[in-house]
A and B are shown apart, each in its own frame.
Chain A
Amino acid sequence: MCAEKSPPAIELRQVTKQFTTDSGTPYTALRELDLTVAEGEFCAVVGPTGCGKSTTLTLVSGLERPSVGSVAVHGRPVDGITPGVGFMFQTDAILPWKSVLDNVSAGPRFRGVPKKEALESARDWIRRVGLAGFEDRFPHQLSGGMRKRVALAQNLITEPRVILMDEPFSALDVQTRAKMSDELLALWDLTRPAVVFVTHDLEEAIALADTVVVLTAGPAATVKARFRVDLPRPRVVQEIRFEPRFLDIYHQIWEALRAEVDIAYSQSTRLDRAS
């Protein structure tokens, strides 16, 4: 009944997304997909490669429109770039010609916040993600992990109520990745925005999320199953995987995921043989 009063943070209803490929034939990425993410919920989306996980995010952010169905954020249908949304890309999307300070302050500056104010709050966020002292560096002078922190600060400074993450840490080494995940959880806990975290790593998904959504193998992917992760918070990402409860959940979800991974794998190998 709570849902009656305030609409969910994200609601995709019967969404189908078709692309036209270069050869002109339509390609269905998503088919009749339903996904609801509540206010403050951390939702991980897993699925085999090429199943349209990233497409889901571009639909919520407003970068793309669904071919059929409706997408709403906070009850408002998505039409153009969704306001109040942060997006972390798989590859570096911070601007290489702007210093760390200019990158982090870019969001507020774009929105017309006075320069002085924007820089002040940018310094604050740079400190919060642990990059104090690196304000004047250019991205190429930073390590991969540091660039991810810049991207994180760049997003969080706009105080989004919805954060979309597209395998944001997949390019990092395993240790840095676990550290970044811990920091992400700590920062998330401050304001508790709704998060959709796309990954192909089931361990990462369970360690971070409240809900894990498994998508079927593409094309025409849709939601296969939805699992609640009732592990207590705060969590330490590197250690939580040893908990028995974690393993239980892992087995449960893997059962659902394995079949889809097999399908996706056989599809890709068949393609290889054909070509």
Chain B
Amino acid sequence: MTAQQARVEVAPVESAHRRAARRHRVLVHLTQVAVLLAVVGGWQLTVQDSPRSVILYGLPSGIVTRLTTWITEGTAIGSLGDQITTTLEEALIGFVIGTVLGIVCGVALGRVRFLSEVFGPFIKVLNAIPRIVLGAVFVLAFGLGIESKVLLVIVLVFFGVFFNAFQGTREVDRNFIANASILGASRWQVTRQVVLPSAFTWIIASLHVSFGFALIGAIVGEFLGGTSGLGVLIKNAQGTFDANGVWAAMVIMAVVALIAEWLITRLENRLLRWRPAQLAGPDL
């Protein structure tokens, strides 16, 4: 009797819940579209009537035109695909090397107190200098090719990953390490199977920010001196008073960054699938 009653009551509650959730989602999406239209439309409407403003600020419709010409006819320095590939190549190579270096150094310093005592102050000093300026040094020393950009990316990516890996290593639950040691794990096994997986929650959090830094590093590197890539494209556009060109390159960057963000989130979900799912709590 009671079980039947309960079942009868549960069904409508559930579907009402689902309907409310769908309505909420639709509302969120509609508001997002409205915000976008307001910003882009407002920009278009306020700028389009003054030729001077069009040159200074660019125009949404002009950005679309610029993007289409780039895609169909290529840019002044070669096809658009080549520019994106160059920038992505610099960013990715630097990102991978910087991340690996950051993880290795962070975990090593986190695990070996002596190393952290010796190198801690050096790393603090290096972190305090504005590293983006190093790009100028790298371009002077290593030329206009890919090396100078990759180096700048590495320098930018390394520190974020390093500090998170270091902190993640320090924050590992002492009981996990004690338990594994008593079960017979060597120091290396503890690092591999206890410290690294635990620190990965911290490291992955830093990857989201670091990839943004990698793109910035590649573009600024090209800006400071290069022959191809999106940074050069932006620099040329700026030099010819082509605001639309600058904006168009930024749109491309944004798309690339979003795709990378999506990939990193997928990697995160894969590597951290042992974590409990976030439960919905009350809205406070």
**Docked-complex contact B274 and A98, CB < 8 angstroms:** yes
Choice from A89, A94, A106 contacting B178 with Cβ under 8 Å: A89
B181 is an interface residue with CB less than 8 A from chain A? yes
Interface pair A110/B178, CB less than 8 Å apart: no
With A and B bound together, what is the CA distance between A14 and B65 in angstroms? 86
Select one of B175, B274, B275 contacting A91, CB under 8 A. B175
Query: Closest approach, in angstroms, between the C-beta of B194 and any C-beta of chain A?
Result: 7
A93 contacts the other chain (Cβ, under 8 Å)?
Answer: yes
Closest to A108 in B: B184
Complex CA gap A97/B198 in Å reads 8
B185 contacts chain A at the CB level, 8 A cutoff: yes
Closest to A157 in B: B183
**CA of A138 to CA of B272 in the docked complex: distance in angstroms?**
11
- The complex places the Cα of A95 from the Cα of B182 at a distance, in Å, of 13
Interface string of B67-109 (1 = CB under 8 A from A): 0000000000000000000000000000000000000000000
Partner of B176, one of A93, A107, A140, A158: A93
Interface residues of B in 171-216 (CB under 8 A from A): 173, 175-176, 178-186, 189, 193-194, 197-198
Say whether B274 contacts A97, CB under 8 Å.
yes
Is B12's beta carbon under 8 Å from chain A? no
Interface flag for B276 (CB, 8 Å): yes
CB-CB under 8 A from A155, the residues of chain B are 183
Q: With contacts A93-B175, A95-B176, A97-B197 known, is A158 near B275, CB below 8 A?
A: no
Question: How distant is the Cα of A158 from the Cα of B179 in the complex, in angstroms?
Answer: 13
Most buried by B among A92, A95, A155, A158: A95
A130 within 8 A of B: no
Known contacts A81-B182, A85-B182, A158-B184; A95 and B175 CB within 8 A of each other:
no
- For chain A, the count of residues having a C-beta within 8 Å of the partner chain is 27
**Which residues of A are found within 8 Å of B180, using beta-carbon distances?**
95, 106, 110
Residues of B within 8 A of A61 (CB): 178, 182
Select which of B175, B181, B274 is within 8 A of A89 by beta carbon.
B175
* Inter-chain contact A93/B184, CB cutoff 8 Å: no
How many B residues have CB within 8 A of the partner chain? 21
Q: Take A91-B175, A98-B274, A140-B275 as given contacts and tell me if A107 and B197 are in contact as well, using a CB distance cutoff of 8 Å.
A: no
- Over the window 224-256 of chain B, the binary record of Cβ atoms lying under 8 Å from chain A Cβ atoms (1 yes, 0 no) is 000000000000000000000000000000000
Q: Please name all residues of chain A whose beta carbon is closer than 8 Å to the beta carbon of B274 when the two chains form the complex.
A: 96-98, 138-140
Q: Which residue of A lies closest to B178 (CB)?
A: A63
Nearest to A58 among chain B residues (CB) is B178
Contact across chains for A110 and B183 when beta carbons are under 8 A apart: yes
Give the chain A neighbours of B184 by CB distance below 8 A.
83, 107, 110-111, 158
Q: Which of B189, B193, B273, B275 has the most CB of A within 10 A?
A: B193
Interface residue? A86 (CB, 8 A): yes
Which partner residue on chain A sits nearest B198 by CB separation?
A97
CB distance from B56 to the nearest CB of A (A): 54
CB pair A81 B179 closer than 8 Å:
no
Among residues of B, the one whose C-beta sits closest to the C-beta of A164 is B182
Q: Which residue of A lies closest to B186 (CB)?
A: A110
Inter-chain CA distance A110–B276, complex, in Å, is: 26
Partner of A93, one of B178, B275, B276: B178
Tell me the smallest distance from the CB of B103 to a CB of chain A, in Å. 16
**Please, how many angstroms separate the alpha-carbon atoms of A29 and B175 in the complex?**
20
B residues less than 8 Å from A158 (CB atoms) = 183-184
Interface positions of A (Cβ within 8 A of B): 61, 63, 81, 83, 85-87, 89, 91-98, 106-107, 110-111, 138-141, 154-155, 158
What 8 pairs between A and B have smallest CB-CB spacing? A93-B179, A140-B276, A107-B183, A97-B274, A110-B184, A93-B175, A110-B185, A97-B197
* New A-B pairs, 6, CB < 8 Å, besides A89-B178, A95-B194, A107-B183: A89-B175, A96-B275, A106-B180, A110-B183, A138-B273, A139-B274
Q: List 28 A-B contacts (CB under 8 A).
A: A61-B182, A63-B178, A63-B182, A81-B181, A87-B178, A87-B179, A89-B175, A89-B178, A89-B179, A91-B175, A92-B175, A93-B173, A93-B176, A93-B178, A94-B179, A95-B176, A95-B193, A96-B275, A106-B185, A106-B193, A107-B184, A110-B180, A110-B183, A110-B184, A110-B189, A141-B276, A154-B183, A158-B183
